[in-house]
Structure formats: C-alpha cells, structure tokens
Structure 1
Amino acid sequence: MTAITDAEFEQAAGTAPKAVLRYLRARGWGFARDFGRGQLWELRTADDHGPPFQVLVPMERQVRDYQGRVADLLETLSAVEGRRPAEILREMSLPPADWQYLRLAPPGPSGTAPLVDLVPALAGLRDLMTAAAAATVATEPQPVQPAQKPQRVKDYVASVRLDQTRVGSYVIAAHTPLSEPPAQPELPLPDALPQEPFERLVSRRLYAGVVCARQAAERSVAGDSLDDFARYVHAGLSANLCEALVRIAGEERRGYRLSFAWSADLPVEQSTPPVAIGQRLLEALEEGAKDLRARLGRRGVRVRGTVVRLRRDFPRGPGEVTVSGYLVDEDDRTRRVRMTLGREHYDRAALAHKEGHEVIVEGDLTVHGTAARMERVTGFHLQYVDD
C-alpha cells in the first residue's frame, strides 16, 4: 500500500462523491450497503476466493472527516490497483469517458516495452479506432473502407487520449471523453431507447468488430476456411480492422489482449469480457483481410488513367478494357485495372485510346493478388485535354 502524501490528502477534500462512485463503478466495484451518510462498496475478483475488497464512500462533503475517509479509500484503491494515489485522483477528475486497455506481452521487465514493439502497437491502435469510427458513420457495411475518411472520423480519432501505463507487463490505456448525447424528441416513441453519444457508438462498434474478428479467425483456424470473415461484415468487421489487429502485434507477431471499460455515467448492461488475440489467430486475420479485399473489394471508387488495352469479339457490343492509372482520393500508386464495359462505355474507351484522353471510371474494385478488376461499372467519363 502506498501512503498518501500531504498534497494528495489536500486534493482528496476536493474530490466529489459522484466522481468517486463513477470511478468505482467503471472498475467493477459494486454497491453493498447503505449507511446513510456513507456507502459500502465491494470488489470481488474471479481468481480470489477470499473476502472481497471493501471501501467506505462518504456521500456528503459536509461531514467533518470527509477528507480523511476519501484518503483511506484512496490508499485501499492504491493497494488493489498497484498505482499511486495521485494517479487515481487524477483519473477521478477526468470527464465521463469510455476506456480501452491494450495489454502487450513484450520481453523484458514488467512496465517496459521495446520501441520496435510499441510503435506498431500505437499505430495499430490508431488504425483500429479509425476503422471502428468509419464503420459507425457508414450508411452500409464496408468490407474494405475507403482510404479517404469523413471528417467526423478524423475528429473522433483526434479526440482519443492516451493515459499513463498500467501495472501488468505493458498496458496502453486509451480513453475517449463522451460528448452530450443527441437531443431527445419531446414525445419519444413507445419503447424507444435513448440515443447515445457518437463516442459510445464507436466504442460499441469497436468491441463488436474485435469480437467478430476473433471469432472469424478462430473458425478459420478450425475449419481451414476464410468464409466466416465475410459473414461478420454487417457487425463492423472490415479488412481495415483485421489489418489493424495484425499491425498491433508488430513484426514479432506477439499476442496481446484488449479490454474495455465503459463510462459509469452511461452503463452498458451486457457483459464485455476482454478479447485475447494470440499468435495462432494473427495469420488467420491477415489472410482474412486479404480475402475481404479480394472478394468484396472497395465500393464506389474512382480510377483515373489512360486506356492501354481494348478487346471485344464483335464490332458492336461489350468488350474488355484495361486502364492504367491510380485510385482517386486514395493513393498515387499506378496499377492496371481490367473491366468489362457495355457498348456505350466501350465506344468511349476506344475514343479515349485513339485520341489520348484520360478517363475516370467509377465502380467497385476487387483485387486478386496483384490483379485489379473493376466490377459493376457505374460511370465512364473522358477527361479532355482542356479538363
């Protein structure tokens, strides 16, 4: 147990009961008994068969020994969590937020991590948050998300904060403050659920996506098939999310665990146990991401380039066209994209090839290995010299 300092004792006086209760609820403590001006709260751990941890929470700041009672509570929490009272006090002062904990297992002393492991873990965590936010704002499932993300997704990722590391190997703690939920209608519909703030919706989608990714990877390993990845797309699973989970593991492909803590101001009723991603699942996640990109591809993309090949079996009718170009708003890498065009679009492609005009093709892109193909072409436009 870490003894509380004089400065921390003074700070305890300014800690509101509501902040203390929010902190306890978010970390699994439960109400046990009401004493009027105080409440007894308990914490039971799954691997501890002894008596529960207990703290007494003063409910009125006007009581004479309020400061001392909060100080006693802080010392107990410090012993249970293995953290300094100052860290707990600081966290109690934070606004309502959802938390995500990434527990790595790098070699070396507990509480440290090699730089080569930490950098990809942070980048993967950022990509994971981005994929969850993009799935939340999308109007339909996106097995492969576009590279250019909506501004709301960028704003969300920018709002995610990293906190101090936790005890237990190396734990990255991230949290997202919850904004005010959307205004409720004056006359809500019967049985209508209250709307949640956008940040909570992303947290939910993130948890669902990670759980589905793990389940798809486990079934892939057990059945030697990648079919299950596509079945979970409706729940927020995407190639981007799978790639982010792989990236977190770094080059050494070390396993890790993700756990979630929900703001006590907006409780989550269902159980959300931690999700472990072991080494045996990482290869399946990587292959699943490739399969999603190959089979389901990217929807509504635009390719800009020049027509380099034309072929059709009859003078009139559809034909095969190859365009050498790049994906607009996504990347500058040159690639060759094959497509089947109807008569009208094929004639435009022939004109562009003859006169040297660029074209913009709109449709859904699939990639098989290094071969890219445009499916369901919805637009074919010539870009004249003056354009």
Structure 2
Amino acid sequence: MSYESPNDERRTVGLSAIVTYLRSTGWRESGTYSRAIVWTTIVEESEVELLVPATSELRDYAERVADIVRTLAFVEERPEHEILRDLRSTRVDVYEIRTVPDTPSGTIPLSEGLRAVRGVHDILLAAATAAASPDRPSVLPSQKPLAAKAVIDQLRLGQTSVGSYVLRVESPLADASLKPAVSARDVLLLLHQAASAARDAAAETYGDNFIEFEERIGDGVSANLCDALVAIGGQRQSMFELSFSWAAASPTEADTPLVRFDSRAISTLKRAAKHLRMLPVTEAVVVIGRITHLERPRPTDKLGKVQLAGTIQGKDQRREEDRIVMRLNPQQYSLAVATHGDGRNVRVTGALRHTGRQYEISRIDQFEVLAD
C-alpha cells in the first residue's frame, strides 16, 4: 500500500497548472520578485498578492505550493484540500451530483448509494449514446454504440466532496492530437442539455399528459435518461442537483447552470419514463418540401434544428404538413442553410414520429437537395 505525503502531493502540482488555474480564476501577473512571479487579485476592494516560483526545481518548491494553496483557500473561502485537488485537475472536466438524503451530512443509506451510483452511470451512458448518434429515439437501443462505450470507459469516480453526499465524476481532457468520434466533453455538454430539458418538461407536466417530454426527445430526453435520474433520487425520491465545471485548461463558452430535481420532478420523471417506453414505433417515410425555419445548433448539441413544410409519403398514406421538424448533422445543416436561401426543395427519408403537436423525423437515412 503506497502513501503520498503532503509534500509529494504538492510536488505533483506543476507550474503550468498553477498558472492555468490562476488565469481562469481572475488573477493577473503584476511583476517579479526575486525568483518568483507576482500575481494579484482583488478581494473586497483590497489587493491580494501571490508569489509563484519561476521554476519547480527549487528545493522548497513543495513549501511554495503550500503557501499558494493557503492563500487561495483564504481568498476562495474553501478547504485547502479542495484547492489542491483543483490545482491537480486543471485538465479535468467535473460532473457532480449532490444528493440530499435524510441522513447525517456526508453519508447516504447504502442501498440508496448503490442506486445513485448506478443512476450516474446510466445517465452518462444515455447521454453518450445520444451524442454518438444523430438518432434521438424515445427508448435507447440495448446495444450501445462503441463510441459511447469508449467515452464511459475513460470517466472515473473521484473523491466525494463535503456537503450532504456528493458524487464526483472526473473526465480528463483528451490529447489534442486525438480526434474521437465523440469526446467526453461532448457527452457532458449533451447531458446538461438533456437533464435541463427533462427538468423543464417535468415542471410543465400535469396529470398524465406527457407531451412536454415527447417534444424534448430531440434534446436527448429518453426513457433511459428519465429512469437514470429517478435512480439517483432513490426510493425516497430525495432532491438532488447536477453541476458541471470545466477544465481550466480548456474552458467552454456554453452556459451550464446547476440543474435541480425535487421530489415532484422525480415522481413525474418516473411516470414519464413509462410513457416514453409505450410510444408507438416510428414509421418509415419520405418527406419532400421546403425549409421554413432554421435554428443554430446549441453549444451542447452538434445537430442543427430545421423545420420544413411539405408532403409526407408513407406506407399507404400521403399528407401535407406545414411543421415537420428534424435535426441535421453539420454537413446536412450547411446544405439546409443554402437551400433555405434559394428556395429549393429537399427530400428526406427516415423514421417519423408524431408528438401530438408536430411531426419529427427522428432518424434520417438520406437528406438531399432537389434540383430546380
């Protein structure tokens, strides 16, 4: 069994990580002093200074890092061990789930903890599956895409934090030279989008009308995602919160505020999951029409939302509709933008579902622009 002393921990904090962290939290370089760089920030209208060694080869480097940690803990009003952890994680995205069970802070009933961990795994798998495919079914396939499994395999469960009972999922940034089909960052961003959509749908749902969930399937809401969220709440349907923080070395412009689920939302999600599993299977169709509306893709979703009006041709049926929604990959979306400008029609083949308010092409097999 190995033991890492405090000095060993501090020596693992590289200078580049310290500089990255300071820049991301509002500190500024303001000069030099002896063999150190002076960094400053403003706290309650007063300037605070921090000395960062110019090299990690100093014999007292660990002590210098300890001084930095103490100063940051004072400025941020956080425990030193959390500051040290974050300094060592400047290339890590973090997803935290704060549960509020009716037990002493920092604990959770064993059976509820098991459900929560399983729910955390399943919600991430649901988001990874949605991110790995342009299809957005109401029930995810039992056989998950290899790209989704690859993302899950690189995530790790970190040390829990103080406050009720907090589960921490860490996602190290991929090497810049690697270009995976789906990155862990893509998955976490889509998870925030889907969880927010599920929360909003639950807030707007009353009785047994689950149309709000049906209309958010394209945002990543599925029966699997709802079931996973319910599992995190446990049998007692305890309130929980999802929060996201992004690697200081690679910040994102996406707005990802905290997502909270209370007992009413959890109860609604449980019923919504059953409803989504009972939706009729989508039908194969060909749609020919003109694009009437385009929406830029969200930062959390690489798919662009497009609306068209035209003719739906299915088995033994043909009908005209003025609101048919679909989500296109970046290449298809670029074609749609060009088509919208010149008024040409498009032909789309795929699977169609009806939410009660609109028709949506949930799986696109072919998208092409027709000649004049």
Corresponding residue to 1:117 among 112, 119, 144:
112
Corresponding residue to 1:107 among 102, 120, 134:
102
**Larger deviation: 280-289 or 87-96?**
87-96
- Measure how far apart 1:181 and its partner are: 4.6
Bigger CA radius of gyration = 1
Q: Does 1:203 find its partner at 2:197?
A: no
Aligned equivalents of 2:273, 2:177: Cα separation in 1: 34
- Measure how far apart 1:100 and its partner are: 0.5
Distance 1:173 1:51, change over 3 A: farther
Q: Which amino acid aligns with 2:30?
A: D
Aligned equivalents of 1:113, 1:144: Cα separation in 2: 30
- Measure how far apart 1:17 and its partner are: 2.3
Maintained 8 Å contact 1:12/1:89: yes
Q: Please give the secondary structure, in 1, of the residue aligned with 2:50.
A: strand
Q: Does 1:220 find its partner at 2:205?
A: yes
Distance 1:289 1:7, change over 3 A: closer
Distance 1:125 1:11, change over 3 A: closer
* CA RMSD after TM alignment: 3.6
Q: Please give the secondary structure, in 2, of the residue aligned with 1:30.
A: coil
Aligned equivalents of 1:92, 1:183: Cα separation in 2: 24
Q: Which amino acid aligns with 1:275?
A: V
Normalised by the length of structure 1, the TM-score is 0.63
Q: Does 1:70 find its partner at 2:65?
A: yes
Q: Does 1:15 find its partner at 2:19?
A: no
Match of 1:243 in 2: 227
Q: Does 1:280 find its partner at 2:264?
A: yes
Maintained 8 Å contact 1:111/1:168: yes
Match of 1:38 in 2: 38
- Measure how far apart 1:140 and its partner are: 2.0
For structure 1, list consecutive stretches of 5 or more residues without a partner in the other structure. 1-5, 45-49, 185-194, 301-340, 343-362, 367-387
- Measure how far apart 1:289 and its partner are: 1.9
**Any residues of structure 2 matched to 1:279-318 within 5 Å, and which?**
279-297=263-281
Maintained 8 Å contact 1:178/1:197: no
Deviation digits for residues 247-271 of structure 1 (CA, Å, limit 9, x no counterpart): 1111111110010011122211133
Maintained 8 Å contact 1:141/1:236: yes
Aligned equivalents of 1:53, 1:110: Cα separation in 2: 36
- Measure how far apart 1:126 and its partner are: 0.4
Maintained 8 Å contact 1:143/1:297: no
- Measure how far apart 1:173 and its partner are: 0.7
For structure 2, list consecutive stretches of 5 or more residues without a partner in the other structure. 285-314, 317-349, 354-372
Distance 1:57 1:198, change over 3 A: farther
Q: Does 1:139 find its partner at 2:134?
A: yes
Q: Among all aligned residue pairs of Structure 1 and Structure 2, give the percentage whose two residues are the same amino acid.
A: 32
Match of 1:61 in 2: 55
Q: Which amino acid aligns with 1:266?
A: S
Corresponding residue to 2:252 among 252, 261, 268:
268
Q: Please give the secondary structure, in 2, of the residue aligned with 1:295.
A: coil
- Measure how far apart 1:66 and its partner are: 5.4
Maintained 8 Å contact 1:95/1:177: no
Aligned equivalents of 1:247, 1:151: Cα separation in 2: 24
- Measure how far apart 1:31 and its partner are: 2.6
Distance 1:51 1:176, change over 3 A: same
